[in-house]
Structure formats: structure tokens, C-alpha cells
Amino acid sequence: MISRRSFLGNVSVAAAYTAVTFRTPMSYAEPLGLPLGLQLYSVREQLAKDYEGTLAQVVSVGYREVEAAGFYQRSAADVKQAMQKANLRCVSAHFPFADLHARYDEVLAFSKELGIGYLICSSPGFKTPASNAGSDRGRVLTLEDWRWNAEQFNLLGEKAAAAGIHFGYHNHVHEFAVVDGVVPYMELLRITDPSKVTLELDCGWATVAGAKPVDLLRDYPGRFSMLHVKDFKANGSSVAGAGAHEPTVTELGLGSIDYRPIFQQAAKTQKIKHMFVEQEAFDMPYMQSLKVDADYMRGLKV
């Protein structure tokens, strides 16, 4: 236990340090002038083996903000302490819809204690789950399911706002596969209330799904507050289409996605608060890979 006075003193020191650190070249992502961020799913295997050591390595190549994707049986207090020790800010966290639907009050309390500003749903759910556990695997969401998800997001967002947290949704590829003549992602944009639900645009997955991040950012001003940045090697097909092939992940700048126009459009029509590199697989030692990504983000001018 520490006194309130000691706590406030520590916060003041940390705030002063942060104000300096975020202005150094090592921690600044040039495209939108934001602190360099990493989605921790990138180092999921490393975190499971050495949580604090991996966070220290993430910082060593310049990342200053992170978005969590699992907490490895750690309490919110333990995670917060580890982040502070590493001089990282955990500003957002992903949770699957199943967790949000089953124990939302618990997730909100955990998020509030951790101090994150954004709680992101990382996967949708079925309006009517299968009766047998695990038998939802392989099922395809109907248009009714997608519309139900959008309505649920409004409810979850309203409750998160009451706790002082922004609620949002993160796309993969299936949101862009046409269902009954409708693109589900367009329905999410139509039905969700912008005052309750923000969107975290995964530019990489949207691109390989056949969507154009530039168009989404242009046509829906103010709807996106965070971006995921990743790269893929072109393979000639969309993973949202029939006969699709799994895309090949690579490091930023080594694939087929041109991020300059994406960032230029985001600067014009969105108020992006955080931007996270996500490296879902590695073609080289993982620390080298994360440094390639960090260097790309620091060096790209728009």
C-alpha cells in the first residue's frame, strides 16, 4: 500500500517523463504524429513465456503504447504494474464478443482498473449460439447475426461510456464478404451509433478482403479512432472471396500495401487517437521484425 500523496507524486514524475519520451525520435510514429504503438498479439508467444521481459524488449525498439490481446492469467493490477515498469502505456484491449456477452461487468471493471481508454470487440457473436459448446466453429454469420451484433455494440458502448471507456469494433476479413447482397461492414457502419461505438480499422485485413481503407476513411468521416497497420505480400486473390488463399504476412514496407495514401486520408477525415503495428507472423527473428516495422513507421512521411 502507498499513500495518496506518494501515488500522486509518482504520477507526476511519470507524466513528466512521458511528456519528454513521446517527443523523442525513438518513440514517435511520423505518419500521424502519434506515439509508436504495438498490438501485443504480435508477441503473444513471447509474453506467455516471459511477460515483463518481452515488454522490455518491445520498448527497446521504440514502442511506447500497446494494445492488449489477452492477459495471461494476470490481474489488472499486475498488468498495470508490469506496464509501468516497462514504461509502456496500455491504452486499449481486445476482447472477443463471447467474453463481453458472458461477463461484461467483469470486463468493464478489469478495464477500468487497468486504465485503458478503449475496449475493443475483436470478433462478433451469433444471435443464437449453438446448443453444444464449440459447435459454432465453422458456422457463418447471417445478415441477421451481423445486424444483431451492431445493436449489441450500441448497448455495450453505452455501458462502457458510463464507465468512462470508449467501446469499439475491430475488423478482420469476413465483415467484407457479401451476405444476401449486403456487405456486413456497411451494416455495422449504418446501424452503430457513432456516439457509442467507434471503429478500429485494420487496414491490412480490409485490404486483403478487397476493401479500400482510403475509401472507408473518406466516406465515413469521424467514425474511426484507431488503426491497425500490417503488411501482406500480394497473392492475386481476396480472402473474402470464393476460393480465397490465405495471405502471406510480411513486415511493413516489404509487402504490397501502400500506407501513404491511407494515412493521408486518415489525417483529412478522421481523428485517429492511436495507431498500432500488428505483426501476426515473422519471416525473421521477431525483434528484428518489430524493428523493421518501427523504422517504417518512424520514417514514413505523408
Residues 6+ apart with CB under 8 A from 237: 243, 244, 245
C-alpha cell belonging to residue 16: 513528466
Q: What is the mean pLDDT of residues 211-223?
A: 98
- The pLDDT of residue 158: 98
- The pLDDT of residue 302: 85
| Boundaries of every domain in the chain | 28-129+137-299
97-111 per-position pLDDT tens digit: 999 999 999 999 999
Q: With 50 as the cut, is the pLDDT of residue 52 above it?
A: yes
Q: With 90 as the cut, is the pLDDT of residue 27 above it?
A: no
- The pLDDT of residue 30: 80
- The pLDDT of residue 245: 61
DSSP string, 170-197: E--SGGGS-BTTB-HHHHHHHHS-TTTE
Q: With 80 as the cut, is the pLDDT of residue 91 above it?
A: yes
pLDDT-derived band at 246, boundaries 50, 70, 90 = confident
- Vertex 235: Cα angle to 229 and 238 (nearest 5): 70
pTM higher than the cut 0.85: yes
Look up cell 470464393; give the residue: 242
134 φ, ψ (degrees, to nearest 5): 90, -10
Q: What is the mean pLDDT of residues 74-90?
A: 98
- The pLDDT of residue 251: 97
Q: What is the mean pLDDT of residues 193-213?
A: 98
Q: With 60 as the cut, is the pLDDT of residue 240 above it?
A: no
- The pLDDT of residue 234: 82
Q: What is the mean pLDDT of residues 141-147?
A: 98
- Quick check: 209 and 240 in contact, CB under 8 A? yes
Q: How many CB atoms lie within 10 A of CB 152?
A: 19
233 φ, ψ (degrees, to nearest 5): -80, 135
Q: With 80 as the cut, is the pLDDT of residue 121 above it?
A: yes
- Quick check: 37 and 277 in contact, CB under 8 A? yes
- The pLDDT of residue 301: 87
Of residues 278 and 139, the one with the higher pLDDT is: 278
Contacts of 137-141 spanning 24+ positions with Cβ under 8 A: 140/174, 140/179, 141/174, 141/179, 141/184
76-86 helix and 51-60 helix, angle to the nearest 10 degrees: 40
Q: With 70 as the cut, is the pLDDT of residue 35 above it?
A: yes
Which of these, 177, 181, 178, 190, lies nearest to 149 by C-alpha position?
Answer: 190
pLDDT more than 90, % of the chain: 80
Q: With 50 as the cut, is the pLDDT of residue 9 above it?
A: no
Q: How far apart are CA 273 and CA 118, in angstroms?
A: 10
C-alpha cell belonging to residue 19: 511528456
246 φ, ψ (degrees, to nearest 5): -65, 130
- Local structure of residue 114 (DSSP, 8 states): H
Q: How far apart are CA 155 and CA 198, in angstroms?
A: 13
24-28, 78-82, 149-153: which range is least confident on average?
A: 24-28
Q: With 60 as the cut, is the pLDDT of residue 237 above it?
A: no
pLDDT more than 70, % of the chain: 85
- The pLDDT of residue 12: 37
Superfamily of domain 28-129+137-299: Divalent-metal-dependent TIM barrel enzymes (3.20.20.150)
- Quick check: 154 and 197 in contact, CB under 8 A? yes
Give the helix/strand (H/E) hosting 167: strand 166-170
- The pLDDT of residue 29: 66
Torsion of the alpha carbons at 133, 138, 142 and 148, rounded to the nearest 10: 40
